[in-house]
Structure 1
Amino acid sequence: MLDHLEFTAPEARRIAGATSDWELVIGLEVHAQVSSRAKLFSGASTVFGAEPNSNVAFVDAAMPGMLPVLNEYCVEQAVRTGLGLKAAINLFSAFDRKNYFYPDLPQGYQISQLYHPIVGEGEIIVDIAPGVARRVRIERIHLEQDAGKSIHDMDPNMSFVDFNRTGVALMEIVSRPDIRSAEEAAAYVSKLRQIMRYLGTCDGNMQNGNLRADVNVSVCKPGAYERYQETQDFSHLGTRCEIKNMNSLRFIQQAIEYEARRQIALIEDGKQVVQETRLYDPDRGETRSMRSKEEAHDYRYFPDPDLLPLEIEQAWVDSINATMPELPDAKKARFVRDLGLSEYDAVVLTAEVENADFFEAVANGRDGKMAANWVINELFGRLNKQGMGVGESPVSADQLGGVIDLIAKGEISGKIAKDLFDILWTEGGDPAQIVEARGMKQVTDLGEIEAAVDRIIAENPAQVEKAKANPKLAGWFVGQVLKATGGKANPAAVNELVAQKLGQ
């Protein structure tokens, strides 16, 4: 059972080396691209990497007279995400226009959901340390369309705009300010990404911009967060600054740590923190001002006149809920409970849904601990060394399971199994057939093993005397016997016979 973590040592003080005590308070707005082949209000493709401005429908380009048509699948994916975050699903929601001008926004407004989001309050349990977790509350999830992309590095004298992303469906997942450190912020985004990948609602590819975070950071004196919890009055938390468009877990941590130091230094110098939007420069390791922080009224929100309010039925929500997959926390608990895995191994194996599926295929009907050992140490170790994912593994789950079966039957030893794994990795094939064809079966004939033990003992009388004086040296004879038999002798039988022959 995980315990919810209570705040103790203020993180901001640790990272800033300040002379006074400070607490760090963080809230995140995560923009997750919906896994949909079509955009939110048009049938244009969402494929990444297409030629600039090749995936743009008339409505995306804001051509006169073009009206948006809501993509039902994107709504379903938002509902599925909400259910995965234990959130309330709003049967009534509506779209609003968020008005601002920017070259990559052809309509002059973004269609979003301010007043009536599709998903209400939920929560995520974020692992902080072994056996310790923090509950982060979700305030809301709303659907909105993405903007295009401004490109400034193709020509020093001009900028370009690619509208391929314009209109792509985003889920904006807004947390409460419950996160208390840079490490927790990264862990929160990582956990959110993991859940959505299990659900299939967002691929979580941060490099392609499919998952981005706006990070709100403020610092306050000890006890202020507790007063906020009691009153829900944000004024207790200090002036916040928003760091926009973070698409790296490492950069999220670095930006928060820098911003905390900057705000603490300002306050301790008798200056004020200005509420503003900032950008993080990873090359210089610092945040810099982008613009003053806008409030809702600055965007002149009003209901979108081209879209009717969205009303969904509870029966439809229930049908989606009935198809929900097993999520990472439940899967991890099952691996520990039913397969006897350690907490650490269960965490490693459930980190990615593909890894968990591969492991379950290997462990099916087999010893769970042995399967976990082979998947984590041998398979993942080799994959990591070669920069490959489990989907690229040359060794299939069936092949690896076959190796474990041969070990369990006593037909091969652990050492032979590793040699067999190497053959499967480079050449493929059926494990049992390879063992048979190459004479790799373990020697279990006690007479044959005893003859080898007797020969090694007879050839090494001096080592025998040493082993009798120091029983720990018996392992030398075991190694020699295994070497003499090409690693095929049953190690347990060798150990037992060596001990008998040496009178141990």
Structure 2
Amino acid sequence: MSHISDKYEAVIGLEVHAQLATHSKLFCGDATTFGAAPNTQVSPITLGHPGTLPKTNKKAVEYAIKMGLACNCEIEQYNYFARKNYFYPDLPKGYQVSQHTTPICKGGYVTIKTGEETRNVQLNRIHLEEDAGKSIHDIDDQFTCVDYNRAGVPLIEIVTEPDLHSADEAYQYVTEVRRLVRWLNVCDGNMEEGSLRCDANVSIRLKGETKLGTKVEVKNLNSIRNVKKAIEYEIERMIALVEAGGTVKQQTRSFDAGNDTTFAIRDKEEANDYRYFAEPDLAPFHLSDTLISGIRESLPALPVALLAKYQTELGLSEYDAAQLCAEKETAHYYNQVLQHTQLYKAAANFINGPVKQYLNENKLGFEQFTVSPTQLAALLQLVEDGKVNFSVASSRILPAMIAAPEQDALQIATDMNLLQVSDTSELEQWVNIALESMPDKVTEYKKGKKGLIGLFVGEVKKLSKGKADPKLVTTLIQEKLK
């Protein structure tokens, strides 16, 4: 990467295709379930039989608007679809229905964070289109097999301006887009199944240049890691090429995940003529103000807003806030806990720590978590009141609550004999035994080795099987050794 910092800068634009989470296709009622047997989710409309007429899926339009509003776009109220003509075995009609001159969402931005810097990546558009089918080359030696199940599935294509300048920024951007589509429930964001795919347009130019260099498009990157690797490789390749006196060719390339390199598929013509024209079989549609404002009101609190709120209003650290906002379910659960307690920091620690650990180890989501927000708030209160300590609460009481969700925290702590003893006479006995068992350490402490207090407290903890209140014990020991 040495050359890049001193001489060149990379300019990157990304196109992310997100498959919308509708139950049926964009222009007909065929199912969109992933993994069905080939060509079982097709009909004469999907297959483009003559005389069939498409009809627009309202839900898909609403999902596109939802994403547009979350990305601060302007919603185009007058919309129509266009035909994009090209011939390919997996395109049953010989054209793809897309949006050309009137994308449903214009402009907008997505906020990303790289290192310390937060910035807005400018979007060009988000438009609706139908997916193509899938050509499969490795089933038959003689023939390419075609599966049309995916043909006609609704997609939004989220297109940035050439506004990214490193592989790391691209990585953060795709991560953020995936979080957003999942947060809004408009797409499951599963890159392995192809419901989120990314194409990267990469070019380089000398620092200080304003004109864009010749771009190369790397197609169908199916993981966020591959987006980063492909862009890193392309930047290196282009710089080496230009440094050696060569010129960058405008072409379409593909990524080889086996060795993290890219290879050319085809050279791309300058004016790729898809002969766009308005789709004659679909009426243009107008989006009313009422529809758009209704969708705006239904939007959940978005991660960027929650991050700010958690830090400014609740006083959480940036790290804690980011952990809570990583997934919508986590933030939702945390918000519900806060309806029953004002222990903001303690709740964040408990959810980000023991609760998440339990869910990760058991491969569960918050929707399968048996401890209700009310119960968790009660457990936090027990710790706050000094009735149990954090480690007993997380390692003993939490598992018992998960196993018996109908029991409350105090009941469990009482039944399991885990409540901290704050009765000073009983504590004093334990303190005396502990100090008597370590006379030499007591002498050292009195000579000024104050760090030994932890050892004494630990000994009392052992004697009391964790039931002694550590704060009281510390005070008692300090009194005794004065």
TM bin (shorter chain): over 0.9
Question: Does 2:69 match 1:92?
Answer: no
Shift of 1:473: 0.8
Q: Would you say the 8 A contact 1:214–1:245 is kept in 2?
A: yes
- Structure 2 gaps of 5+ residues are none
Shift of 1:274: 0.8
Q: Mean alpha-carbon deviation: is it higher for 491-500 or for 57-66?
A: 57-66
Give the structure 1 partner of residue 386 of structure 2: 410
Give the structure 1 partner of residue 132 of structure 2: 147
Distance 2:336 2:180 in 1: 21
Give the structure 1 partner of residue 27 of structure 2: 41
Shift of 1:484: 0.5
Partner letter of residue 116 of structure 1? T
- Find the residue that maps to 2:298 and give its secondary structure: coil
Give the structure 2 partner of residue 379 of structure 1: 355
Distance 2:270 2:280 in 1: 22
Give the structure 2 partner of residue 251 of structure 1: 226
Q: Would you say the 8 A contact 1:218–1:239 is kept in 2?
A: yes
Q: Mean alpha-carbon deviation: is it higher for 357-366 or for 253-262?
A: 357-366
Distance 1:31 1:179 in 2: 18
Partner letter of residue 236 of structure 2? R
Residues 60-93 of structure 1: CA deviation (Å, up to 9, x unaligned)? 1111211110111111111111111111111112
Question: Does 2:326 match 1:351?
Answer: yes
Give the structure 2 partner of residue 9 of structure 1: none
Q: Would you say the 8 A contact 1:415–1:487 is kept in 2?
A: no
Partner letter of residue 378 of structure 2? G
Give the structure 1 partner of residue 288 of structure 2: 313
- Find the residue that maps to 1:279 and give its secondary structure: strand
Distance 1:20 1:129 in 2: 20
Residues 378-406 of structure 1: CA deviation (Å, up to 9, x unaligned)? 12233334544444446554443332122
Out of 444, 448, 463, the residue aligned to residue 426 of structure 2 is 448
Residues 443-484 of structure 1: CA deviation (Å, up to 9, x unaligned)? 111111112112222333222112212111122111111111
Q: 1:20 to 1:137 in 2, by over 3 A?
A: closer
Out of 191, 204, 214, the residue aligned to residue 206 of structure 1 is 191
Give the structure 1 partner of residue 376 of structure 2: 400
Which structure 2 residues correspond to residues 470-489 of structure 1 after superposition, within 5 A?
470-489=449-468
Partner letter of residue 129 of structure 1? G
Q: 1:19 to 1:371 in 2, by over 3 A?
A: closer
Q: Would you say the 8 A contact 1:194–1:351 is kept in 2?
A: yes
Residues 179-213 of structure 1: CA deviation (Å, up to 9, x unaligned)? 01001001111111222222222221111111111
Give the structure 2 partner of residue 494 of structure 1: 473
Residues 314-364 of structure 1: CA deviation (Å, up to 9, x unaligned)? 222122112221111101111112221111111111011011112222333
Give the structure 2 partner of residue 67 of structure 1: 53
Distance 1:399 1:158 in 2: 60
Shift of 1:294: 4.7
Question: Does 2:264 match 1:289?
Answer: yes
Percent sequence identity over aligned pairs: 42
Distance 1:75 1:122 in 2: 18
Give the structure 2 partner of residue 101 of structure 1: 87
Distance 2:457 2:189 in 1: 51
Give the structure 1 partner of residue 200 of structure 2: 215
Q: Mean alpha-carbon deviation: is it higher for 388-397 or for 83-92?
A: 388-397
Distance 1:18 1:331 in 2: 36
Q: Would you say the 8 A contact 1:68–1:307 is kept in 2?
A: yes
Give the structure 2 partner of residue 8 of structure 1: none
- Find the residue that maps to 1:278 and give its secondary structure: strand
Give the structure 2 partner of residue 133 of structure 1: 118
Q: Mean alpha-carbon deviation: is it higher for 331-340 or for 240-249?
A: 331-340
Give the structure 2 partner of residue 437 of structure 1: 415
Partner letter of residue 71 of structure 2? L
Q: Mean alpha-carbon deviation: is it higher for 309-318 or for 443-452?
A: 309-318
Q: Would you say the 8 A contact 1:435–1:441 is kept in 2?
A: yes
Question: Does 2:141 match 1:156?
Answer: yes
Give the structure 2 partner of residue 77 of structure 1: 63
Give the structure 2 partner of residue 461 of structure 1: 439
TM-score scaled by length of structure 2: 0.95
Distance 2:14 2:397 in 1: 48
Shift of 1:296: 5.8
Residues 197-242 of structure 1: CA deviation (Å, up to 9, x unaligned)? 2222222111111111110000100012xx3xxxxxxxx1100000
Q: Would you say the 8 A contact 1:214–1:242 is kept in 2?
A: yes
Shift of 1:426: 5.6
Give the structure 2 partner of residue 323 of structure 1: 298
Partner letter of residue 86 of structure 1? N
Question: Does 2:342 match 1:366?
Answer: yes
- Find the residue that maps to 2:313 and give its secondary structure: helix
Distance 1:386 1:435 in 2: 24
- Find the residue that maps to 1:404 and give its secondary structure: helix
Q: 1:170 to 1:19 in 2, by over 3 A?
A: closer
Partner letter of residue 302 of structure 2? L
Q: 1:265 to 1:320 in 2, by over 3 A?
A: same
Partner letter of residue 123 of structure 1? Y
Shift of 1:153: 2.3
Q: Mean alpha-carbon deviation: is it higher for 477-486 or for 46-55?
A: 46-55
Give the structure 2 partner of residue 7 of structure 1: none
Shift of 1:96: 0.9
Give the structure 2 partner of residue 231 of structure 1: none
Q: Would you say the 8 A contact 1:124–1:138 is kept in 2?
A: yes
Distance 1:24 1:281 in 2: 21
- Find the residue that maps to 1:243 and give its secondary structure: strand
Shift of 1:100: 1.0
Q: 1:437 to 1:32 in 2, by over 3 A?
A: same
Q: 1:20 to 1:328 in 2, by over 3 A?
A: closer
TM-score scaled by length of structure 1: 0.91
- Structure 1 gaps of 5+ residues are 1-12, 228-235
Partner letter of residue 400 of structure 2? I
Shift of 1:249: 0.6
Tell me how many residue pairs correspond in the alignment.
478
Give the structure 1 partner of residue 159 of structure 2: 174
Out of 91, 113, 117, the residue aligned to residue 103 of structure 2 is 117
- Find the residue that maps to 1:29 and give its secondary structure: strand
- Find the residue that maps to 2:198 and give its secondary structure: strand
- Find the residue that maps to 1:299 and give its secondary structure: coil
Question: Does 2:68 match 1:54?
Answer: no
Distance 1:349 1:454 in 2: 44
